[in-house]
A = this chain, B = another copy of it.
Amino acid sequence: MVKRPLPLSKVHALLEPGPVVLLTTAHRGRVDVMTMSWHVPMEFEPPLVGCVVSDRDFSHGLLKASGECVINIPTKDLLDAVVGCGNTSGRDTDKFARFGLTPRPASMVGAPLIDECFANLECRVVDKRLAKAYCFLVLEVVKAWRDPAVKRPSTLHHEGSGTFMVAGERVVTRSRMP
């Protein structure tokens, strides 16, 4: 995909509708991809994002050690990779190879971008106060990328137990909410 830089002020709108994302992390030659739904915008600009990464996940260690990650947003054509990455562990699986994902170098962090995802958000950990209690981290998005050709992405939204809702119709209102 051909990505363009996305203004940081537009990042919250990518995450606010609640898509499943693929979180990439890297540290000392180890790389992982994790399926994640528990994330939330916390500030518009600079964009902050809160997320829960369980300490049972291999990604947890890489994220803790590196302090960096990339949030990659997939669409429904990547459903098999989304499910696969959520049901395997980076401890014994090269998920990029196994699920046909292509890593690309990020510009500001060590974790890779997933080429097949229409948007990629390079992040750094900025607040760990709730890490011990809930494995909750606050990330700052320092660089964002988007494929401008994907205008109405068919994002996936996990409803639990392996059921996903696919983004449907869009409705434009006169709301003044940002």
What separation, in Å, do the CA atoms of A123 and B158 have in the docked complex?
22
Q: Which residue of B lies closest to A13 (CB)?
A: B160
Contacting residues, chain B, for A12 (C-beta < 8 A): 160
On chain A, which size bracket covers the interface? 35 or more
**Chain A interfacial positions (CB closer than 8 Å to B):** 10, 12-13, 16-19, 35, 37-43, 48, 50-52, 76, 79, 83, 86-87, 127, 129-130, 133-134, 136, 138, 154-178
19 pairs of residues in contact across A and B, judged by CB atoms under 8 Å: A10-B160, A12-B160, A17-B157, A18-B157, A38-B40, A38-B42, A40-B50, A40-B51, A42-B52, A79-B173, A83-B173, A83-B175, A86-B176, A86-B177, A157-B157, A158-B177, A160-B178, A162-B176, A163-B173
